[in-house]
């Protein structure tokens, strides 16, 4: 039997999120049913709820930073049992037979990964719904183990903000001796600082918010550069090996490119739209610089990141909210007023 679920949904690009009941599929033999405890609030939730990327499916239940307890497992599930603390991130399925899937990079599946929400299940063609809800049904290959040493609330953002910053830092071999800059101190940015520091890099934050300087240092930044101050930008010309750009709106890459050292890489994780103004080719030709991008991370890599966090005591800095306050939280995020990730306590759904 399908499961009746309560959650919060956007009914269109212009309506605020509101209570919504919906059905999830009858659990399959390889499914895990999870009672959701906490769900982080990612800027991607805003982009998609408001159809800023196009093609949004409504009603939409956002949320892809999910922590919960296993309620039950299907007959074929070996790795999880009722009561386990688990996580679900941005994807819930992929083809499992393309080159990308074989490499453990399911997010780059050639047939397209199935996103946790705003997507369509491969088998039944029904829409997927995310973590702003009481329960979720997920194929066991896409469920992550959460070490009980981690604070469950503060671990929720690791499932997206964490892996999205971890994956490029690992791919570009960041470690001792690397000079890394993170652009934007929000949910992704603060995890970028923590991970770059933990991996041994010298870390700089580019921010437009002078008020964030002190906290940036606590989060791992060795240096803070006010990106709106031309003199400060000039002072770091040709300095960085790697820039992790988490800015969620169109912005000028040229001033950042000028701060890359020889062979440096400017990696976009923030935006999926054309950049404006255009990149000046000289800014990549001189210095053999690269502009790159990165999408979340694979499942094996996500587990590796979660285990690293448990080992090193790394979690997000979170502000807990009730689900009834989600629309106000979105407005605060749009003003860069979040320190540094909102996390919904789903107990509020049962009030
Ligand atoms: P947040 O809103 O938490 O943080 C974004 C930060 O960017 C702000 O705090 C601010 O930092 C800075 N910023 C905001 N607007 C501007 C601007 N106009 N110019 C310069 N800086 C700005 O967002 P998230 O960290 O949740 O997400 C960031 C982006 O990453 C989103 O677009 C999201 O969709 C995307 N994303 C991409 C993923 C991927 O796989 N590639 C996965 C998850 C998210 P400050 O005050 O320091 O300037
Ligand atoms: Zn996200």
Specify whether 116 is located in the same domain as 202.
no
Using the mean position of ligand 2's atoms as its centre, give its distance from the Cα of residue 249 in Å.
15
Q: Is residue 194 part of a domain?
A: yes
Tokens of 300: 């094996």
The atom number, within ligand 1, closest to the CA of 41 reads 26
Note whether residue 309 is domain-resident.
Answer: no
Q: Is 107 among the domain residues? A: yes
- Judge if 65 and 100 occupy the same domain: yes
The per-residue pLDDT for 351 is: 82
The pLDDT value given to residue 47 = 97
Residue nearest to atom 9 of ligand 1 (CA): 186
115 lines ligand 1 (CB under 6 A): no
Q: In terms of residue numbers, what domain contains 23?
A: 3-160+297-304+316-350
Q: Are residues 117 and 211 in the same domain?
A: no
Nearest atom in ligand 1 to 250's CA? 18
Shared domain check, 325 and 193 = no
The CATH number of whichever domain residue 196 belongs to comes to 3.40.50.720
Contact 163, 307 (CB under 8 A): no
Neighbours of ion ligand 2 (CB under 5 A): 42, 44, 160
pLDDT value of position 94: 98
Indicate if ligand 1 lies below 6 Å from the C-beta of 187.
yes
Asked whether residue 80 is domain-assigned, the answer is yes
- Counting ligand 1 atoms within 8 A of each CB, the residue from 89, 248, 321 with the most, and so the one to mutate, is 248
Q: Is residue 49 part of a domain?
A: yes
Is 86:152 a contact under the CB 8 Å cutoff?
A: no
Q: Decide if 311 is inside a domain.
A: no
One domain, residues 134 and 254: no
Distance from residue 65's CA to the centre of ligand 2 (Å)? 7
If asked whether residues 247 and 180 sit together in one domain, one would say yes
Could you tell me if 224 and 322 lie in one domain?
no
| Residues lower than pLDDT 70 in the chain | none
Ligand 1, closest atom to CA 47?
A: 34
Three-state SS annotation for the chain: CCEEEEEEEECCCCCCCEEEEEEECCCCCCEEEEEEEEEECCHHHHHHHCCCCCCCCCCECCCCCEEEEEEEECCCCCCCCCCCEEEECCEEECCCCCHHHHCCCHHHCCCCCEECCCCECCCCCCECCCCCECEEEEEHHHCEECCCCCCHHHHHHHHCHHHHHHHHHHHCCCCCCCEEEEECCCHHHHHHHHHHHHCCCEEEEEECCHHHHHHHHHHCCCEEEECCCHHHHHHCCCCEEEEEECCCCCCCCHHHHCCEEEEEEEEECCCCCCCCCCCCCHHHHCCCCEEEECCCCCHHHHHHHHHHHHHHCCCCCEEEEEHHHHHHHHHHHHCCCCCCEEEEEHHHHHC
Residue whose structure tokens are 């652009």: 183
Indicate whether residue 192 lines ligand 1 (CB < 6 A).
no
Is residue 40 located within the same domain as residue 110? yes
How many CB atoms are located within 10 Å of the residue 55 CB? 7
Domain shared by 134 and 266, yes or no: no
Same structural domain for residues 108 and 257?
Answer: no
Is the distance from the beta carbon of residue 338 to the nearest atom of ligand 1 less than 6 Å?
A: yes
Q: How far is the CA of 277 from the centre of ligand 2 (A)?
A: 25
**Residue 131 forms part of a structural domain:** yes
CATH number for the domain that contains residue 13: 3.90.180.10
Q: Is the CB of 208 under 6 A from ligand 1?
A: yes
Q: Are residues 133 and 70 in the same domain?
A: yes
The whole-angstrom separation of Cα 89 and Cα 36 is 12
Residue 310 belongs to some domain of the structure: no
Residues 108 and 253 in one domain: no
**Ligand 1 pocket check for 186: Cβ under 6 Å:** yes
Domain count, the chain: 2
């Amino acid at each position: 039997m399908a499961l009746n679920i309560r959650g919060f949904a956007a009914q269109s690009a212009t309506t605020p999120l509101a209570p919504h009941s919906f059905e999830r599929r009858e659990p399959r033999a390889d499914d895990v049913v999870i009672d959701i405890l906490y769900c982080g609030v990612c800027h991607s939730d805003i982009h998609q709820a408001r159809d800023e990327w196009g093609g949004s499916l409504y009603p939409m239940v956002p949320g892809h930073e999910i922590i919960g307890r296993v309620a039950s497992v299907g007959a074929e599930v070996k790795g999880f049992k009722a009561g386990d603390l688990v996580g679900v991130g941005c994807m819930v399925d992929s083809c499992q037979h393309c080159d990308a899937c074989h490499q453990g990079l399911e997010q780059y599946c050639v047939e397209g990964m199935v996103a946790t929400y705003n997507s369509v299940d491969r088998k039944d063609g029904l829409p997927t719904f995310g973590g702003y809800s009481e329960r979720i049904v997920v194929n066991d290959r896409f469920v992550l183990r959460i070490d009980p040493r981690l604070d469950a609330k503060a671990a929720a953002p690791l499932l997206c903000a964490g892996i999205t910053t971890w994956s490029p830092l690992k791919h570009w071999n960041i470690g001792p001796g690397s000079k890394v800059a993170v652009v934007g101190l929000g949910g992704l940015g603060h995890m970028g600082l923590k991970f770059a520091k933990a991996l041994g890099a010298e870390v700089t934050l580019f921010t437009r918010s002078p008020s964030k300087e002190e906290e940036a240092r606590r989060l791992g930044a060795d240096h803070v550069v006010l990106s709106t101050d031309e003199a400060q930008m000039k002072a770091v010309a040709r300095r960085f090996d790697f820039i992790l750009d988490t800015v969620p709106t169109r912005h000028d890459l040229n001033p950042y490119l000028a701060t890359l050292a020889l062979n440096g890489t400017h990696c976009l994780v923030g935006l999926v739209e054309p950049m404006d103004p255009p990149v000046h080719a000289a800014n990549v030709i001189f210095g053999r610089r690269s502009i790159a991008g990165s999408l979340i991370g694979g499942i094996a890599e996500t587990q590796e990141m979660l285990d690293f966090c448990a080992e090193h005591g790394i979690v997000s800095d979170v502000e807990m909210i009730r689900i009834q306050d989600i629309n106000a939280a979105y407005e605060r995020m749009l003003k860069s007023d979040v320190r540094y990730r909102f996390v919904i306590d789903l107990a509020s759904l049962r009030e």
